[in-house]
């Protein structure tokens, strides 16, 4: 059985490798076809270049805001909020037993609410500033705590020279990421954790794990300011780690926290002996479908503009997911002779996770390969590894988000290569920004380093926080309360009254 899976994975991998050569040739052909109109493009680019403004003032930035970009980013923010509520809430909720449904819905809903307040409190400042910080490469300061200085007349940089967003738009968009990342974690120890201690954990985890990692991977001075301040960036950004929409910041981060959590909280009462099948795969499917739709905001919105690269991220998010869903269904057909609905949606989510860091860098075809590749790998972890090591990662936060995120993060180093049609590496120390030379081997190593740093940082912080909170407040409910169901014992209500 396992040999079949490994053979299948090997076959997929070999075909990926073989096909990339074919696609590289296609990409080269398209590039030379595109080269013909280049002289016109460079002429107009040169004309534009002379009017680009380096280090613009706030008044100048006001004239660099595009209504299409702003509208798209606000819509994206709403889509990402929808990914938390109700998508993630229903996806997770349908997978637990009836007696614990509300506890999952409540945890996700309240994490979103609390995280939003923490974000506008000190989160945004810690993640996206670098002034007055004890260690500016690792975390920001508190200059923008409680959104001090952020008004309808201040602006946030995008990835293009002289293109800006109203700062509130950027705050709101990133806020939705800070809301969903901690909510992902709860799946790992669903059905066995007390509500308020969990909320306390989330506030501390956001502060000590999420904001610094977001800062390290995503903070930088912006394309118009970096040339004059060439070290004003987060540690991993400076190393050249590529993470378009949050493979490391969101999925690996939450995934490893989930694994640490499920190991430290311990297994559910009756785990391995009592049957705990999902109470409503209908809800899970609804949740997964809303996740897919919302993820267009998550990935394509991470381009911060409404342009061609946004469209690339959008279509990659579409086809990688489709391929991953199909891939999981095929693996199940081979392994169990029956493809399941739960498998299909899990595959889709794994594909979404994997394409997240690569979404703006890959091509649709390389995205499909990534989708086909990630499902067997995640399948291996959620069925074989989890059963062998017998840890109770209830909703497969580690197996899908952490492993899928690692696959995606490393694959980003491969698919971003212009030789495979990828978007390549931009040298933002120049003004205007130009395309830098791409070294796939070095990039993959950088990606691996970013993955390892995230695993160690988040894993360690999570372990310490779980330990301390458990000692002071206790994380697990009493056995009776757990048996009765968290809905009644923690929240005093039933999900279903019939």
Of 206-214, 257-265, 269-277, 455-463, the window that binds other proteins (rule: CB under 8 A) is 269-277
Q: Determine the Cα–Cα distance for residues 417 and 423; give it in Å rounded to an integer.
A: 7
- Output the smallest distance, CB 277 to other proteins, in A: 6
Size of the site for other proteins (CB under 8 A): 17
Of 47-55, 229-237, 342-350, 367-375, the window that binds other proteins (rule: CB under 8 A) is 342-350
346 scored as a contact of other proteins (CB under 8 A): yes
Number of H helices, E strands in the chain: 21, 4
275 scored as a contact of other proteins (CB under 8 A): yes
- 340, 429, 430, 460: residue in contact with other proteins (rule CB under 8 A): 340
Sequence-separated contacts (24+) of 306-314 with Cβ below 8 Å: 306/66, 306/68, 306/69, 306/71, 306/72, 306/73, 309/159, 309/360, 309/423, 310/72, 310/360, 312/359, 312/360, 312/362, 312/363, 312/364, 312/423, 313/244, 313/245, 313/359, 313/360
Distances (CA, A) of 286 to 92, 93, 251, 254, 481: 11, 11, 21, 22, 29
Name the residue nearer to other proteins (CB basis): 28 or 341: 341
- Output the smallest distance, CB 5 to other proteins, in A: 11
- Please choose, from the candidates 253, 216, 65, 87, the residue with its C-alpha nearest in 3D space to the C-alpha of residue 139: 216
- 343, 421, 459, 485: residue in contact with other proteins (rule CB under 8 A): 343
- Output the smallest distance, CB 391 to other proteins, in A: 13
- Output the smallest distance, CB 9 to other proteins, in A: 16
- 240, 266, 278, 436: residue in contact with other proteins (rule CB under 8 A): 278
- CA 35 to chain CA centroid, nearest Å: 35
Of 213-221, 257-265, 276-284, 483-491, the window that binds other proteins (rule: CB under 8 A) is 276-284
Contact predicate 250/457, CB 8 Å = no
Residue numbers 393-422 binding other proteins by CB under 8 A: 396
x/- binding map, residues 358-397, to other proteins, per CB under 8 A? Answer: ---------------------x--xxx-xx--------x-
Q: Determine the Cα–Cα distance for residues 210 and 223; give it in Å rounded to an integer.
A: 24
Name the residue nearer to other proteins (CB basis): 94 or 222: 94
Helix residue ranges, H only, 132-280: 167-185, 195-205, 211-218, 235-239, 253-265
Name the residue nearer to other proteins (CB basis): 131 or 282: 282
- Output the smallest distance, CB 336 to other proteins, in A: 6
Name the residue nearer to other proteins (CB basis): 367 or 383: 383
Helix residue ranges, H only, 206-340: 211-218, 235-239, 253-265, 281-300, 308-336
Tell me which residues touch other proteins (CB under 8 A).
Answer: 275-278, 336, 338, 340, 342-343, 346, 379, 382-384, 386-387, 396
């Amino acid at each position: 059985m396992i040999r079949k899976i490994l053979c299948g994975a090997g076959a997929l991998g070999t075909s990926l490798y073989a096909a990339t050569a074919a696609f590289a040739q296609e990409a080269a052909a398209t590039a030379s076809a595109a080269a013909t109109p280049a002289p016109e493009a460079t002429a107009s680019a040169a004309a534009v270049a002379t009017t680009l403004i380096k280090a613009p003032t706030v008044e100048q930035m006001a004239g660099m805001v595009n209504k299409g970009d702003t509208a798209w980013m606000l819509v994206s923010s709403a889509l990402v909020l929808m990914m938390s509520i109700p998508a993630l809430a229903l996806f997770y909720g349908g997978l637990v037993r009836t007696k614990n449904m509300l506890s999952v819905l409540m945890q996700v809903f309240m994490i979103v609410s609390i995280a939003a307040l923490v974000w506008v409190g000190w989160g945004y400042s810690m993640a996206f500033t670098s002034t007055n910080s004890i260690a500016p490469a690792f975390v920001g300061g508190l200059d923008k705590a409680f959104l001090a200085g952020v008004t309808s007349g201040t602006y946030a940089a995008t990835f293009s020279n002289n293109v800006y967003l109203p700062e509130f738009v950027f705050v709101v968009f990133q806020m939705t990421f800070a809301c969903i990342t901690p909510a992902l974690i709860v799946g790992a120890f669903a059905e066995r954790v007390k509500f308020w201690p969990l909320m306390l954990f989330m506030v501390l985890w956001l502060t000590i794990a999420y904001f610094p990692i977001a800062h390290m991977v995503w903070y930088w001075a912006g394309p118009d300011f970096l040339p004059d301040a060439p070290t004003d960036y987060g540690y991993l950004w400076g190393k050249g780690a590529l993470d378009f929409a949050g493979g490391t910041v969101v999925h690996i981060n939450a995934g490893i926290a989930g694994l640490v959590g499920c190991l430290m909280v311990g297994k559910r009462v009756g785990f391995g002996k009592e049957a705990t099948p999902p109470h409503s795969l209908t809800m899970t499917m609804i949740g997964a479908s809303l996740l897919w739709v919302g993820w267009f905001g998550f990935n394509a919105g991470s381009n911060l503009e409404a342009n061609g690269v946004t469209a690339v991220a959008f279509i990659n998010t579409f086809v990688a997911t489709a391929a991953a869903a199909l891939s999981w269904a095929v693996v199940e057909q081979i392994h169990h002779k029956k493809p399941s609905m739960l498998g299909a949606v899990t595959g889709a989510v794994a594909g979404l996770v994997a394409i997240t860091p690569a979404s703006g860098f890959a091509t649709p075809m390389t995205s499909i390969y990534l989708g086909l590749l990630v499902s067997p790998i995640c399948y291996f972890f959620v069925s074989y590894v989890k059963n062998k090591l017998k840890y109770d990662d209830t909703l497969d936060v580690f197996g899908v988000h952490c492993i899928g995120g690692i696959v995606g993060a490393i694959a980003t180093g491969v698919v971003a290569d212009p030789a495979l049609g990828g978007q390549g590496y931009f040298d933002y120390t120049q003004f205007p920004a130009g395309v830098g030379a791409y070294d796939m081997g070095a990039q993959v190593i950088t990606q691996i380093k970013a993955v390892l740093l995230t695993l160690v940082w988040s894993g360690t912080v999570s372990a310490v926080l779980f330990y301390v909170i458990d000692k002071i407040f206790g994380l697990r409910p009493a056995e009776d309360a757990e048996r009765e169901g968290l809905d009644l014992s923690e929240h005093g209500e039933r999900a279903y009254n019939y």
